[in-house]
Amino acid sequence: MKKDQLTLYAYSRCSTCRKAMAWLDAHDIAYEVEEILDNPPTTTLFHHWLEAQGVALSSLYNSSGEKYRELRMKDRIPTLSLEEQVALLASHGKLVKRPLLTDGNEVLVGFKEPQWAQALLESHS
């Protein structure tokens, strides 16, 4: 992952997002924050991550979130097309697993320190 233009899609009240920001700060990695509720990733970005990087669609859902339960996504997902699911993710930031860290090409979904270290530290020391 290229470290020169990182965007972190985060929710300000999310403790995992705050941990991710603290980790990035501790490693002197610059990033811009996008509030995922106000400005979720676009359908174009979601499609790119799904196709080019092979990200699993199911991994992009915040399946433990309130919006996921409110919209009964567990029952609805099997009936929705890929386009419909991507449109929902792009229009409801709370449906998206967070944080998302992207360089515009690759994406890291959720904060898992070993995965982030491998993507951001080990290959770019």
pTM to 2 decimal places: 0.89
Please tell me the distance from the alpha carbon of residue 125 to that of residue 122, in angstroms, as a whole number: 6
Q: Specify if 71 maps to a domain.
A: yes
Question: Residue 123 — very low, low, confident or very high, per pLDDT cuts 50/70/90?
Answer: low
**Domain assignment present for 49:** yes
The 10s digit of each residue's pLDDT in 33-59 is: 999 999 999 999 999 999 888 888 999
pLDDT in tens, 102-111: 998 889 999 9
Q: How many C-beta atoms surround the C-beta of residue 82 within 10 A?
A: 11
Of the CA atoms within 13 Å of residue 7, those in its CB half-sphere come to 14
Residue 41 lies in a domain: yes
Q: Is residue 2 part of a domain?
A: no
List beta partners, residue 108: 101
Per the domain annotation, does 117 fall within a domain? yes
Lowest mean pLDDT among 2-6, 27-31, 106-110: 2-6
Asked, for residue 1, whether it belongs to a domain, the answer is no
**Which positions ≥6 away from 46 have C-beta within 8 Å?**
60, 86, 89, 90
Residue 77: what pLDDT?
94
Q: What is the CATH number of the domain that holds 99?
A: 3.40.30.10
Q: Where are the alpha helices (DSSP H) in 4-122?
A: 15-26, 43-51, 66-70, 73-76, 82-91, 113-120
Q: How confident is the model at residue 125 (pLDDT cuts 50, 70, 90)?
A: very low
Domain of residue 73: give its range.
Answer: 7-124
pLDDT score, position 91:
95
Is 113 part of any domain? yes
- The total domain count for the chain is 1
Q: What is the pLDDT of residue 40?
A: 95
- The answer to whether residue 75 is domain-embedded is yes
